[in-house]
Structure 1
Amino acid sequence: MKKFSIVIAGGGSTYTPGIILMLLDNLDRFPIRKIKLYDNDKDRQDIIAGACEILIKERAPEIEFLATIDPEEAFTDIDFVMAHIRVGKYAMRELDEKIPLKYNVVGQETCGPGGIAYGMRSIGPIIELIDYMERYSPNAWMLNYSNPAAIVAEATRRLRPKSKVLNICDMPIGIENRMAKILGLESRKDLIVKYYGLNHFGWWTDIRDRKGNDLMPKLKEYVSKHGYVIDDGDSQHVDPSWYDTFAKAKDVYAVDPDTLPNTYLKYYLFPDYVVQHSNKEYTRANEVMDGREKFVFSECRKIIENKSSKDSKLHIDEHASYIVDLARAIAYNTQERMLLIVENQGAIENFDPTAMVEIPCIVGSNGPEPIRIGRIPQFQKGLMEQQVSVEKLVVDAWIEGSYQKLWQALTLSKTVPSAHVAKLILDELIEANKGYWPELK
């Protein structure tokens, strides 16, 4: 059986150890001969890599391991690039959240002005990773789950249309895990879902079990009372602000009770509520820096010091196993049904054919085959037209170095109240992102 070689781009991420543990836990389904970590921040990656090397030696010593900041070394002889980069790290995320909040506008890492700022930082580096992959391993596939996925996906569509890049997001997966628990099912894989939208901006229209029984009535009844809050959540979404996000889904659901919503819709449909319930001095970036960031790095240092992972509290990122499902679908032509971000091309018939939409696809060795959605209702179509225009204008602004287009993108965002406020936020974001964004004229 063929064994695969992978590189994790963003090797210094706090998510990398959990992903490595998840890959090691799935070697029977997806055998690996080589794991490489690649990052442009050597000091940060060295700590994560030091621990990962020990984890791999203990569990699968036959796997070759390497951590590098040299693109040629990283991208030569690989089958898959697993990309989860965060350009500007948490320091820039904090500014993405706090600058809009100053103006009483949603401060969130993928939605509204913060997501736009992050997108402008991410486009160039993602394109650079694709180019490294194509130069050094032209047959490889990139599985990209770097945020903000919607803007990144639109940029790859425009700038590298023939590249073997699959854009995927874990948020619907996290919500489907909760749905399975609400229904008392073993796993989200017991659900067959119909879903459509843009990334972080979508709706479930039909959910059935393997026998074809309609599970929507039971889910709707639960969500109408509790949102997606459950007793036993997941290990990733534990900060207090996440609890609020899952609870608020109850109100988002009430706006369109024919569907079940993605939690991120709260930022667009209830921006005033979000701002009122935000701490302008201490945002989610601060929660992560004081929580996950400190925890993962201290655990990694402990493993390095002890030369052993015994008693380590690092855990398998179960919820990332969709990455293995996706890699297997490509490698073994499994024809698995998965939610991916793909060019619409008529799958949603009354929507822009060039929009990057998040819909179920059948995935095999040639990539994804989108499942036809048909026509969508006016409410969703209107929201999606507005949001996809924001995403397209951001990519225009990046390509053209256009201040005007970026101002238009911010003005059009449903989270921003006026062109005046959009301009104030934009000017401050330009200052904060010096060296990360292209020069805007």
Structure 2
Amino acid sequence: MAGAGEVSGKGWHATPQAREGDRMKLTIIGGASAYTPDIILGLLQDHALYAGGELCLHDIDGANLRVIERLARALVRAAGADLRVTATLDRAEAITGSRFILTQPRVGGLQHRALDEKIPLKHGLIGQETLGLGGFAFAWRTIPVMLEIVEEVQRLAPEAWIINYANPAGMVTEAVIRRFPDARFIGLCDMPTGLQWAIGRLLRVDYRRIALDYAGINHGGWVSRVLLDGEDVTARLRRWAAALGPVASLLPLGEQTGTVRLFRQHGMVPDPYLRYYYYKDQILKKLLRAERTRAEFLIERVQQLYRHYADVAGQEQPVLKEHRGHPAHSDLASQVIAAMAANRPTRFVIQQRGAGAVRHLPPEEAAQFSAIVDGSGWTPIPQPALPRKEAELIARIKASETLNVRAAMEGDRSLAVEAAELNPLGAPRPLAEKVVDELLAAHRKYLPQFA
């Protein structure tokens, strides 16, 4: 890899290089995603950083890529940004010369996400995009593609930073740091940022003034401390949760009510996805009663979004009235890229090698934790140890995901079954073998490593 840099317990740091006069190229792999327009709007908030540069969109979906390309040009024009928009079906062309590469491919599309959800449910297991056996199957499809992308980036754009949104993000990060330990790579998830956003609304302050002490893994961690302008406001939030807890317990279990309940019970703010583990039976019953899965709903919803995007692309002053996802999603990606482009040290929750920041997890493996990000890389912020029971659950989830990463990288069915047995949302043999085999068969087109 070109350029000086190092990976250590203090994170990843490159030797800063002069960039004056550079024509910066930003690339989005998975650029036809319905998430892309809002990410572009986020980038345009700091468009002066990229003046004279290029925004390159890459995807294998040519029809939707053309829609997003037209919309991107309209948004850039309306913002008065000096930014050239290009689009290509050629991934190597998109990567070459890039300085920042945002990765968000969805291997198999929403149709295969629906299989990730439906096949486990058929056997009485939670079907979810990133958790349990559904998340394991998504990792089998995504990890080989992401490793190809990282290899291509190191060859064609060795100084580029990869900012990853591809799910299941934690397992993707684990695979990348195993295969490419020196990669300029940061994994992201918008859940911690969504927590900041919700807490900001509660406290009636800009969510950017909120910082989290977060320790765990992707979709499995705890916030031990919430800071507002550096002041610890966790006790204030605990009083709020204690007051709302009885009401939340009477309402249907969802992301917000589940988060409040867990906060009240554990005294720490949970990653909202922890509800799948602590309220597994209730959530499974709800999923089994549903007329369609989340993916089946999204297949219809996303087509509506593309129609809206096509209409907006033709407007003189384009305004997005429909969105895919929470504002925290686009804000996080654009703010991380801006912090690195401007060499502006900023605190985020990221995914990378834990390097001891999360005490109960192996330091050489991927974790999710608070860190300072700037133009040279990332520096972990060591987190306090979690209580024993909470730490044990996260360690078990992590151990099962690490096994599944090996299964995806090696094409090893036996490791996939072992991971399924160990995972708290998995199953004992022989059911684990049966579900794994059905998922392998359903996704065979995208799993050449298992052949």
Return the TM-score normalized by structure 1.
0.90
Is 2:184 the counterpart of 1:179? no
Q: 2:42 aligns with which of 8, 19, 22?
A: 22
Q: CA deviation at 1:381?
A: 1.9
Is 2:148 the counterpart of 1:139? no
Q: 2:55 aligns with which of 31, 35, 40?
A: 35
Q: CA deviation at 1:17?
A: 1.0
Is 2:67 the counterpart of 1:47? yes
Query: In the TM superposition, what are the counterparts of 1:121-200 in structure 2 within 5 Å?
Result: 121-185=141-205, 187-200=206-219
How many angstroms apart in 2 are the aligned matches of 1:211 and 1:384? 27
Worse overlay, 50-59 or 2-11: 50-59
How many angstroms apart in 1 are the aligned matches of 2:164 and 2:319? 32
Cα distance change on mapping 1:255 and 1:354 into 2, 3 Å? farther
Match of 2:444 in 1: 434
Cα distance change on mapping 1:134 and 1:363 into 2, 3 Å? same
How many angstroms apart in 2 are the aligned matches of 1:70 and 1:60? 28
| Aligned alpha-carbon RMSD (Å) | 2.4
Contact 2:143 2:409 in 1 (8 A): no
Cα distance change on mapping 1:266 and 1:351 into 2, 3 Å? same
Query: Residues 129-169 of structure 1: CA distance to partner in whole angstroms, max 9, x if unpaired?
Result: 21222222211111111111110000001111111111111
**Which segments of 5 or more consecutive residues in structure 1 lack a partner in the other structure?**
231-240
Match of 1:420 in 2: 430
Worse overlay, 196-205 or 355-364: 355-364
Match of 1:234 in 2: none
Following TM superposition, the consecutive aligned residue runs of length 4 or more in structure 1 with deviations greater than 6 angstroms are none
How many angstroms apart in 1 are the aligned matches of 2:298 and 2:218? 22
How many angstroms apart in 2 are the aligned matches of 1:124 and 1:32? 34
Q: CA deviation at 1:175?
A: 1.5
Q: CA deviation at 1:436?
A: 1.0
Cα distance change on mapping 1:184 and 1:195 into 2, 3 Å? same
Cα distance change on mapping 1:211 and 1:39 into 2, 3 Å? closer
Query: In the TM superposition, what are the counterparts of 1:208-287 in structure 2 within 5 Å?
Result: 208-210=227-229, 212=231, 214-224=232-242, 226=244, 244-257=254-267, 259-278=268-287, 279-287=289-297
How many angstroms apart in 1 are the aligned matches of 2:438 and 2:327? 39
Q: CA deviation at 1:390?
A: 1.3
Match of 1:313 in 2: 321
Match of 2:404 in 1: 394
**Which segments of 5 or more consecutive residues in structure 2 lack a partner in the other structure?**
1-19
Contact 1:51 1:301 in 2 (8 A): yes
Cα distance change on mapping 1:427 and 1:254 into 2, 3 Å? farther
Contact 2:130 2:168 in 1 (8 A): yes
Compare relative contact order (CA 8 Å, sep 6+) and give the higher one, 1 or 2.
2
Q: CA deviation at 1:29?
A: 5.5
Cα distance change on mapping 1:331 and 1:52 into 2, 3 Å? closer
Contact 1:182 1:219 in 2 (8 A): no
Worse overlay, 18-27 or 55-64: 55-64
Specify the SS of the correspondent of 1:333.
coil
Q: 1:206 aligns with which of 214, 222, 225?
A: 225
Q: CA deviation at 1:391?
A: 1.3
Q: Which amino acid aligns with 2:272?
A: T
Identity of aligned residues (%): 28
Contact 1:195 1:203 in 2 (8 A): yes
Query: In the TM superposition, what are the counterparts of 1:286-325 in structure 2 within 5 Å?
Result: 286-291=296-301, 293-304=302-313, 306=314, 308=316, 310=318, 313-314=321-322, 318-319=327-328, 320-325=330-335
Query: Residues 190-216 of structure 1: CA distance to partner in whole angstroms, max 9, x if unpaired?
Result: 12321111011011101122252x311
How many angstroms apart in 1 are the aligned matches of 2:228 and 2:127? 37
Match of 1:235 in 2: none
How many angstroms apart in 2 are the aligned matches of 1:392 and 1:32? 42
Cα distance change on mapping 1:154 and 1:311 into 2, 3 Å? closer
Is 2:384 the counterpart of 1:365? no
Query: Residues 68-92 of structure 1: CA distance to partner in whole angstroms, max 9, x if unpaired?
Result: 0112321122110011111111101
How many angstroms apart in 2 are the aligned matches of 1:12 and 1:280? 29
Return the TM-score normalized by structure 2.
0.88
Q: 2:389 aligns with which of 376, 379, 389?
A: 379
Match of 2:418 in 1: 408
Worse overlay, 148-157 or 97-106: 97-106
How many angstroms apart in 2 are the aligned matches of 1:309 and 1:315? 17
